Structure 1
Amino acid sequence: MQTNLRLIRKSRVYSDDFKREIVSLFESGKFSVLQLARLYGISNPTIYQWIYKFSNFNEKGQRIMEMKSSSTNKLKAMEQRIRELERMIGQKQIKIDFLEKMIDIAGDDLKVDIRKNFNTPPSDGSEKTQEK
């Protein structure tokens, strides 16, 4: 005796408040879509649909890109490196300005032109001298 068994599709219905809560968790950055899907047993496309529907920031037709923690760490490291390089450039510029001012002061006090003069033609070299 065989019974006629049909596959029953389970369909869940979620309240709008629950959907908004999931979207707010995503927007706050506490969880990624993948983490929310695993945590609540909801498929990724469903969560993306909710994001497009209830999000204040994301609109339909725009692609949502999630940054991995390693990407975030790389970005922070690069920003730190940029700040460090900008600081070094500032210090070098101060040193250049100081040295140029010192050259100007030395030139005024000693009445000697220390700066390189680019208008002078290069020398032809020295002539050979005869030995005695």
Structure 2
Amino acid sequence: MATRRQFKMTTAERRRRHFSDSFKIQKVREIETGKTKVSEISKQYEVTTTNVYRWLNKFGTMKDKKEKLIIETDSDTRQLLELKKKVAELERIIGQKQILIDFKDKMIELAEEIYGVDIKKKFSTRPSNISGTTENNTDTA
């Protein structure tokens, strides 16, 4: 059975090869449209990634532009949309919870006014006097 190593080119054979400009342009277009990656072309045609990047610089449509185009894959785009939906859902839930908190606070406030009872626990910094005597009780009958 033949192995891949048998078909692998030697360094001398690779150095003698020349790819046509039309071939290079075709591969650059494939990279720019996202059909393939630089690493895939490098492995498939036994070319260094440096050479493929040279092809991109020479034949690429973005070579003269100062801005670089960032191409997102479909999975990145889908993931970003899902995260945005999740954030929107969480913001909606937080809004509903805040409305409930505001409603409960208002109901407690109204109940305190109507019934004259202190419903909310109010924490004071000094302890209450349990014995019923005051600290400044100097009245000794």
TM-score, normalised with respect to structure 1 = 0.56
Structure 1 residues 94-109: aligned runs within 5 Å:
94-105=96-107, 107-108=109-110
In the TM superposition, what is the alpha-carbon distance from 1:22 to its structure 2 partner? Answer: 0.6
* Matched-pair contact (CA < 8 Å) for 1:52–1:58: yes
* Matched-pair contact (CA < 8 Å) for 2:31–2:37: yes
* Matched-pair contact (CA < 8 Å) for 2:28–2:60: yes
Structure 1 residues 13-28: aligned runs within 5 Å:
13-15=19-21, 17-28=22-33
Structure 1 residues 1-132: aligned runs within 5 Å:
10-15=16-21, 17-57=22-62, 80=82, 83-105=85-107, 107-108=109-110, 111=113, 121-128=124-131
* Matched-pair contact (CA < 8 Å) for 1:103–1:114: no
Root-mean-square deviation over aligned CA pairs: 4.5
Q: What is the percent sequence identity of the aligned residues?
A: 16
- Partner of 1:111, secondary structure, is helix
Unmatched runs of 5 consecutive residues or more in structure 1: 1-6
Structure 2: which amino acid aligns with 1:25? E
In the TM superposition, what is the alpha-carbon distance from 1:110 to its structure 2 partner? Answer: 5.8
Offset from partner CA, 1:7-32 (integer Å, 9 cap, x none): 785141412x2222111111222211
In the TM superposition, what is the alpha-carbon distance from 1:50 to its structure 2 partner? Answer: 1.0
* Matched-pair contact (CA < 8 Å) for 1:33–1:44: yes
Q: Partners of 2:34 and 2:87 in 1: how far apart?
A: 30
Query: CA separation of 1:34/1:102 partners in 2, compared to 1, >3 Å: closer, same or farther?
Result: same
Unmatched runs of 5 consecutive residues or more in structure 2: 1-11, 133-141
* Matched-pair contact (CA < 8 Å) for 2:108–2:120: no
